[in-house]
Amino acid sequence: MNFKRISMITVLAAAQVATAIPVVAESPDSLSPALSGNSVLQSPVEGQAQPEMQQQPTEQQTEAATTDVQADPAQTPNSAPDAEPSEQPGQTDTTEEPASDPADTDSSVNGSSAVDSEAGAANATPNELVLLMNSNVMYHNGQQYKAGQPMAVKSGVSYVAIRAMVERAGLTLSYDNATKETIILKDGNELRFTTGSSNYKVNGQVRPMKGAAYQNNNVFMVPLTAITQALDIPYTVNQPEKKVILDLSKMGNNNGGGSQPGTGGGNGNGAPNIPNLGPNDLILMMNSDKMYQNGKTYTAGQPMAVKQGVSYVAIRSLVDRVGLKLTYDSRTKETVIMRGNDELRFKTNSSIYTVNGERRTMKGAAYQTNNTFMVPLTSITQALDISYRLDQPNKRIILNISSKPVASFTVQPQEIFAGQTRVTYRTNSYSPTGLPIVNENWEGRQDIFEEAGLHTVTYSVQDSSGEWSEPFSLNIHVSEPNTPPVAMFDTDKTEYRIGEKIKYINQSYDRDPGDELTYRWENNEQAFFTSGQHRVLLIVTDKQGATSSYEKYITVTSELLYTRDQFNQLFTDIGDKYNFDGTTVRRGTCSQS
């Protein structure tokens, strides 16, 4: 009886302290940290008077201490999954065993008594994951588990140990050694995280997180909301009890919107209601010819099909919805997709296609069925940088199609000199919805840059609906003006006799560091065989095309040193050829044996 009485006092004391702490939390990323060290409850000793406890409100937050640790590759998953949409859900091996029954422990965890923990496990709803703030304890289906690190708050952002979270939620965890990314897989959806980065990828689309991922004691920590938002996991925050409760039973069901798998709800026209759907996003239904965009239903020539794990789409139906142009090259027997200056070429029964002339490999061969040309969906999304997300429970793929036009350009040549180089601008702009581009705006553009340095040029376009693109900018490095080379040469003597060998000394140079020079000589004979003045010319050209020339007259006296034939016999290198007068060769006699 005394034990029960003391336990009730402990519970009442904990409740009194909890009510004295100000509570402000709307989501796990703005949770208050644990109670400070001097506010941890001390269980009263039997027979000892319980002192009056008062906790003053405080706004100070204590952050979990972290130390960046390089992950041990031997302890890190390194299988690289195929991100191609699949009909089979991912599986994972559970490596964490349930901790001892909460009823068997009497230790406190960050200010939460064993009585509180027992109550949390007993009241758990099936397939709810209960995370205790600032604690490594979690509850799932009435069992207690322990994460590698406590749930931590850094700068107002709640972090969880990714492996413990993944295993409890039935996800698959792997590691990409090539990209140094930690990967979560769930029903074909792929999340990629990088240590030290506040961005992550969801099915190839880069998204910001509320804080950077980090490692602490070989445990990879990520913001909780990065996972819940990407995988549509609904959650609630129980601030008085310091809990975050994830409803795993509704994961991927659009936060419990009531839609059944395969339908996703509707708007009366058959189009699904999907939260955070862009105005031009395209919804493709698996194993169906139905597509949805802007609240309207469209029918493809053939259903979206899966062959050997590769998702195929009818190319014409997709092109019409994404704002591309489709043609056929009868000469090469290729189906051609055009977007701005981008060109994709496909051939029937070939797994090779070209993107702007570059050969690439698809995950499966293109084929035709019932006069409908089918290609792997990823061959188009990857080549044209179209991000998508996979909704496996509802059997659909959602392509993120922006309505804004897209502007881009390149410049030639690569090396530009102030005041000298004329710059050529090549634009590549298009509208994702197929609207014509009717206007453009340049900032900082110059055909010839007069000053050396870094110049930023910005380009924007407007489509026929009046919508402007995001500005596209390039930083152009303009070098100091190119100086032409200086041609110069000398000879080893001022005058020569007839047939005397001449040595030419090239003294040309260029004031620009590292400039490469080419040389062209005229009349630089090894020797001259007539007396008088002989003109020799040297022309020097640098890699920018600037030239310089220098000429010198060689004086030859009437004194004979060698005839041409004598000179050639003496100074012609082995392997070289020379001409001679055959009429002057003496007739010889042949001896017979």
CATH code: domain of residue 434: 2.60.40
Higher pLDDT, 576 or 335: 335
Residue 379: is its pLDDT beyond 80?
yes
Residue 99: is its pLDDT beyond 80?
no
Residues 394 and 416 in one domain: no
Q: Minimum mean pLDDT among 65-79, 128-142, 487-501: which range?
A: 65-79
Average pLDDT over all residues of the chain: 76
> Is residue 235, in this structure, part of any structural domain at all?
yes
Higher pLDDT, 188 or 486: 486
Amino acid code (one letter) for 173: L
Q: Which of 400, 432, 452 is the last residue of a domain?
A: 400
Instruction: Describe the strand order of the beta sheet including 310-314 as a list of residue ranges.
Output: 305-307, 310-314, 372-376, 367-369
Residues 336 and 382 in one domain: yes
Helix and strand counts by DSSP (H, E) for the chain = 7, 40
Residue from 295, 270, 266 nearest 280 by CA: 295
Residues 298 and 367 in one domain: yes
Residues 142 and 228 in one domain: yes
Phi/psi class of residue 21: alpha, beta or left (left: φ > 0; alpha: ψ in -120 to 50)? beta
CA torsion through residues 315, 320, 323, 326, sign:
positive
Q: pLDDT, tens digit, for every residue of 245-257?
A: 988 888 866 543 3
Task: Find the farthest-apart pair of alpha carbons in the chain and give their distance in angstroms, rounded.
Answer: 142
Secondary structure string (H, E, C) spanning 155-215: CCEEEEEHHHHHHHCCCEEEEECCCCEEEEEECCEEEEECCCCCEEEECCEEEECCCCCEE
Residue 31: is its pLDDT beyond 90?
no
When pLDDT is cut at 50, 70 and 90, the band that residue 271 belongs to is: low
Residue 78: is its pLDDT beyond 90?
no
Residues 360 and 396 in one domain: yes
> Is residue 274, in this structure, part of any structural domain at all?
no
| Spatial contact of 420 and 482, defined as CB atoms under 8 Å apart | yes
Instruction: Describe the strand order of the beta sheet including 352-355 as a list of residue ranges.
Output: 325-329, 334-339, 342-346, 352-355, 358-361
372-376 and 367-369: which strand pairing?
A: antiparallel
> Is residue 30, in this structure, part of any structural domain at all?
no
Token pair recorded at residue 334: 């290729």
Higher pLDDT, 378 or 100: 378
CATH of the domain at 523: 2.60.40.10
Residues 309 and 329 in one domain: yes
Most confident of 125-129, 171-175, 352-356, 462-466: 352-356
What span, in angstroms and rounded, lies between the C-alpha atoms of 338 and 345? 9
CATH of the domain at 169: 3.30.457.10
Angle at 83 between CA 82 and CA 85, to 5 degrees: 110
Q: Minimum mean pLDDT among 253-257, 370-374, 376-380: which range?
A: 253-257
Residue 505: is its pLDDT beyond 70?
yes
> Is residue 70, in this structure, part of any structural domain at all?
no
Residue-level pLDDT at 321: 84
> Is residue 60, in this structure, part of any structural domain at all?
no
Residues 155 and 234 in one domain: yes
Residues 153 and 230 in one domain: yes
Residues 310 and 220 in one domain: no
Residue-level pLDDT at 273: 64
Residues 471 and 544 in one domain: no
Most confident of 64-73, 88-97, 201-210: 201-210
> Is residue 154, in this structure, part of any structural domain at all?
yes
152-154 and 396-399: which strand pairing?
A: unpaired
Residues 148 and 239 in one domain: yes
> Is residue 504, in this structure, part of any structural domain at all?
yes
Residue 352 CB: number of other CB atoms within 10 A?
Answer: 13
Higher pLDDT, 60 or 507: 507
| Spatial contact of 109 and 135, defined as CB atoms under 8 Å apart | yes
DSSP letters, 41-93, are: --PPPTTSPPPP----------PPP-------GGGS-------S--SSPP---
Q: Which of 457, 478, 499 is the last residue of a domain?
A: 478
> Is residue 15, in this structure, part of any structural domain at all?
no
Phi/psi class of residue 396: alpha, beta or left (left: φ > 0; alpha: ψ in -120 to 50)? beta
When pLDDT is cut at 50, 70 and 90, the band that residue 264 belongs to is: very low
Q: Which of 365, 380, 400 is the last residue of a domain?
A: 400
What span, in angstroms and rounded, lies between the C-alpha atoms of 163 and 475? 42
Higher pLDDT, 63 or 542: 542
Residue-level pLDDT at 561: 93
For 464-531, list the strands marked E by DSSP: 472-479, 489-491, 495-498, 504-506, 517-522
Residue-level pLDDT at 314: 93
Residues 393 and 421 in one domain: no
Q: Minimum mean pLDDT among 91-105, 348-362, 458-472: which range?
A: 91-105
| Spatial contact of 549 and 540, defined as CB atoms under 8 Å apart | yes
Q: Which own/partner contact pairs does 452-459 have at CB distance under 8 Å and 24+ positions apart?
A: 452/417, 452/418, 452/478, 452/479, 452/480, 452/481, 453/477, 453/478, 454/478, 457/409, 457/411, 459/407, 459/408, 459/409, 459/427, 459/429
Can you tell me the mean pLDDT for 321-335?
90
Token pair recorded at residue 520: 């062209």
Report the domain count for the chain: 4
When pLDDT is cut at 50, 70 and 90, the band that residue 59 belongs to is: very low
Does residue 413 have a cis peptide bond before it, meaning omega lies within 30 degrees of 0? yes
Q: What is the end-to-end Cα distance of the chain in Å, rounded?
A: 141
Q: Minimum mean pLDDT among 233-242, 263-272, 396-405, 422-431: which range?
A: 263-272
Task: Report the run of H or E that residue 18 belongs to, with start and end.
Answer: helix 2-19
Residue-level pLDDT at 44: 29
Share of the chain above pLDDT 70, in %: 72
Q: Whole domain around residue 537: which residue ranges? A: 489-571
Can you tell me the mean pLDDT for 353-363?
94
Residue 18: is its pLDDT beyond 70?
no
Angle at 453 between CA 451 and CA 458, to 5 degrees: 90
